[in-house]
A = this chain, B = another copy of it.
Amino acid sequence: MSGQSLPPSGSKLQIEHDGQELHVTFIKEDSGYGVFKLASGYNVRFPLADVKIIKIYDISQDHRKTMKEETNIGRGAHRISLLSTGGTISSRVDYTTGAVRPTKDLSFIREAISDLEDRINLRTEIIDSILSENMTPSHWIKISHDIKKAMESSEAVVLLHGTDTMSYTASALSFMFEKQTAPVIMTGSQRSSDRPSSDAFENIESSIRFSLENIGEVGICMHANSSDGSAILIRGVRARKMHTSRRDAFKPMGDGEIGRITDRRTFIKNIRKKTDSSIELFDQLDKRCGIFYFTPASTEEELENFSRGKKAVVIMATGLGHVAEALLKKIRDLSDSGIHIVITSQCLNGRVDLDVYASGRNLSASGAIPVEDMLPETAMVKSMYVLKKDPDNFAKLMQSDMRGEITLRSDTVEIR
């Protein structure tokens, strides 16, 4: 096929390769290779140079369906908005090219929620189509506007999101929505929705069930364990992806569990309720924040380099919130120069406490701000919010609970 122009993907061809004639469907070109589908369904890959087209039977028209980006499902009373930002949950394999990518086809949702069609009137909307590792604070602000708009016309908002940074977005939305008139239930999936075993179906169904409750906060709904059949709702500021690939990757750190669905029965607890008053959205974030991971190899220079251009640095310190004494002077200097140094722990579970050891007291004296049992990622997102909201009271606000990100009682449950 070298020298020949390639037919459109999906065209039926007769080709010759290695002395054999084959009837195939042309799939795609992939760095010098031609990918062809045999009648048996198997794909074969031949160097294009070795392939000769004998005949083109049927030139494929591009029949990729143009999906509506908005659609309505269900005939029930509850108006729910489902917004999709992309991620695995709305990714499908392109059966022609074999690539998995965010799609604009949300038709699988209809199947997922067939049990609920009598109760809900679901309006779906594609607001973005990206994998979540590419989310930035600017995206969060845009999403917050979309949610606000959706919230104004519906009782609940379900947000589809990639799982990689879902908890960051959940934290950001938690802080930005100072008052919300509807729940924001975020969900994603660890297996894409084109797979029979995808967790997308149950995650969406469960999210919609949660969205029917009187919840006035941002939660993440995912599988509660590896089996199908139960879901967990986690407070946005206390969720963390704790496994790279399992369905039950999202864990409530500390007392972050605010709901559970078992056998289609919904339980919620310790939830903030919706407000009756109007939505209050604070849509500014200072991006000049980051997370510094302290290790025994950390030096003053490393910390200084990292802090360049930042307004707040969240240190993931060791244990109760300790860093090497060798860094204390640098922390004091940075702090004096106006960069807030926030202390969290790389242990992830439990509370930082700079009062137990002399080293902690010294760190505290250097101007570092310990933030109780707040997750490091939440602390970074909160810093972004507080830096715009009330920079003069940065330390005080960081150390006060605003959205459940700090809990003063440490649950006695097992470590996650």
- Say yes or no: A415-B298 contact (C-beta < 8 A), given A164-B322, A243-B347, A316-B293: no
Cβ-based interface call for A135 (8 A): yes
Determine whether the beta carbon of A320 is less than 8 Å from that of B244.
yes
Contacts of A305 in B (CB 8 A): 305-306, 308-309
Q: Given A164-B322, A241-B318, verify A293-B296 contact (CB < 8 Å).
A: no
Q: How far is the CB of A12 from chain B (nearest CB, A)?
A: 28
Q: Among the interface residues A134, A168, A309, which one has the most CB atoms of the partner chain B within 10 A? A: A134
Other A-B pairs beyond A168-B296, A297-B380, 7, CB < 8 Å: A131-B357, A134-B326, A135-B324, A244-B353, A248-B415, A251-B415, A290-B297
Answer yes or no: A407 CB below 8 A from chain B CBs: no
Q: Is A136 part of the contact surface with B, judged by Cβ < 8 Å? A: yes
Report A's interface with B, CB cutoff 8 A.
99-101, 131-137, 139-140, 162-165, 168-169, 226, 241-246, 248-249, 251, 287, 289-293, 295-298, 301-302, 305-306, 308-309, 316-326, 345-353, 356-359, 376-377, 380, 384, 412, 415-416
**B residues less than 8 Å from A346 (CB atoms):** 241
Closest to A291 in B: B293
- Cβ-neighbour of A350 out of B131, B243, B357 (below 8 A): B243
Q: Which residues of B contact A416 (CB under 8 A)?
A: 415-416
26 pairs, CB–CB < 8 Å, chain A vs chain B:
A99-B358, A100-B357, A133-B325, A134-B359, A135-B324, A136-B324, A137-B297, A139-B296, A140-B296, A164-B322, A243-B349, A243-B415, A244-B320, A244-B347, A244-B349, A244-B351, A244-B352, A245-B353, A287-B297, A289-B297, A290-B295, A295-B380, A305-B308, A305-B309, A415-B416, A416-B416
